[in-house]
Chains A and B, each alone.
Chain A
Amino acid sequence: MAALGLNKLLDLSFSRSYDKFDRKATQIGLDLCGGRKKLLTISSPKTNDALSWIGKNLSSAENRLILGASALMTQPFIDAANKDVDSETRKISICRTIAKILAGTFTGYSIRKLCIKSIDSFTKSPDEILPNMKFKKFRSLLLPGLKYTADELSQYKNALGTLLALGVMIFTNFLIDAPLTKFLTNLFANKGGVNDKSK
């Protein structure tokens, strides 16, 4: 009992210390942004419109695409600069990294996008259901039961679509991602003239 109490106390004191540290670190960060006494205002209407658009429309699919594109711009160069391995290993490492990024981004983006689109087809409000639509009965199946704004519904569709995509990706990671990575690694290694017995 006493040990339990002590554990709880230690947990609490750790949690308090962490909160204190977190608050202090955040405050230092905030103060560093333009100075302690300065408040920052984004006055450009274009930037504000862009921010608002990003908040509303950037789903996990676009996020995956951005990550993939930026990965292509950084990871192969990090591998190329890795002097801890010999040149053959470095070359095959670059080929595998590029292959992994391309395969992962291709499947990640397309599956997320398809799943979000599928969810969208079954979250229609009654006034959105047209007479010529198929499966009319199921078009509102995924609508939530609470009140929501248009923005919240749009984020809800993205979240549900992304969850569905994660379920689908349990299979496609094995069926598409991994074999495609292997195929592309071999292709790049052959093109790059890498002498690799293990391809």
Chain B
Amino acid sequence: MINPNKLFLNFKNTILTKYGPNPAKMLIYTGVLGWFLSSAAQVVAIAVNDKIPKEQKMFLIPQEISDGAINVLSFFLVTSAIKNFSSKLVSTGKLANPKIREFLSKTGLNVEKGLGQTKFNIESMANYDVIKDEYKSFKNGVDVIGMTLGSILSCNIITPVLRNKYAADRQQKNLAQLNKLEQERLKSPRGISMDTYQKYAAMKFSNRSSSNLKI
């Protein structure tokens, strides 16, 4: 039988062991989840908004979905890659503070003996416990900075550039489709009132911009 107390304790212990020693990892996972939820809310908000015409919803909803998808994907790929690289800088001994460097020198390690190589990992050293606290504190700081820089690059530079490109393409396609429909109606205006005919005619000859589809 399921014991809720045991489940709750296991949950707390998992959070402690998984994220306690590695805050940057937690920031990545919760960041991705956060972006996903935020995009879902924006999509629903557009979908249920009566004031937005159907034609614009056709553009805005795919735009929001692509925004969320690109955001989540670039966050996972770029941010994770930069965070992992920051971790490697420290774990291989390429980047260190004076205390860690002194510890590594005392053990007789240098570039020729593997420091700065991906195969080397300080955490696998036999006497790792001597430097563990100092190392963890330094590594967490570097990890969080790497993760933050990666987030800025992915969410604030890569995503908006790609999103704008995609949204502009969609807008062009939708506008072309709308224009085609209107022109077909103008060619055979039977079955419509004079008012509607005049409206279509005015639309055709007015200098239209694509601004009726808003981002």
Residues of A within 8 A of B (CB): 23, 26-27, 29-31, 33, 36-43, 48, 50-56, 58-60, 63-64, 66-67, 70-71, 73-75, 78-79, 82, 84-89, 92-93, 96-97, 100, 104, 108, 142-146, 148-149, 151-153, 155-156, 158-160, 162-163, 166, 169-170, 173-174, 177-179, 181-182, 195-199
Q: Which of B13, B98, B137, B160 contacts A97 (CB 8 A)?
A: B160
Q: Which of B26, B95, B168 contacts A155 (CB 8 A)?
A: B26
Stretch of B121-129, B148-156, B176-184, B186-194 with 4 or more beta carbons under 8 angstroms from chain A: B148-156
B209 contacts A86, CB within 8 Å?
A: yes
Interface flag for B58 (CB, 8 Å): no
Tell me whether A41 and B16 are in contact in the complex, defined as CB-CB below 8 angstroms, given that A48-B138, A67-B156 are known contacts. Answer: no
A173 contacts B41, CB within 8 Å?
A: yes
Across the interface, which residues of A come within 8 angstroms of B13, CB to CB? 144-146
B141 contacts A52, CB within 8 Å?
A: yes
Distance in angstroms from A93 CB to nearest chain B CB is 4
Interface size on B, residues (CB 8 A): 81
Q: How many A-B Cβ pairs are below 8 Å?
A: 242
> Given the complex of chains A and B, what is the CA–CA distance between A100 and B67 in angstroms?
12
A85 contacts B168, CB within 8 Å?
A: yes
Interface flag for B12 (CB, 8 Å): yes
Q: Which of B30, B49, B97 contacts A60 (CB 8 A)?
A: B30
A-B residue pairs in contact (CB < 8 Å), sample of 8? A48-B138, A66-B148, A70-B156, A108-B34, A156-B16, A169-B37, A178-B41, A198-B53
B118 contacts A51, CB within 8 Å?
A: no
Q: Which of A93, A104, A173 contacts B215 (CB 8 A)?
A: A93
B16 contacts A148, CB within 8 Å?
A: yes
Give A83's nearest chain B residue, CB to CB.
B168
A88 contacts B23, CB within 8 Å?
A: no
B140 contacts A55, CB within 8 Å?
A: yes
B residues 142-181 in Cβ contact with A at 8 Å: 142-145, 147-148, 151-152, 155-157, 160-161, 164-165, 167-169, 171
Q: Which of A29, A58, A70, A142 contacts B85 (CB 8 A)?
A: A29
> Given the complex of chains A and B, what is the CA–CA distance between A26 and B161 in angstroms?
26
Interface flag for B92 (CB, 8 Å): yes
B137 contacts A55, CB within 8 Å?
A: yes
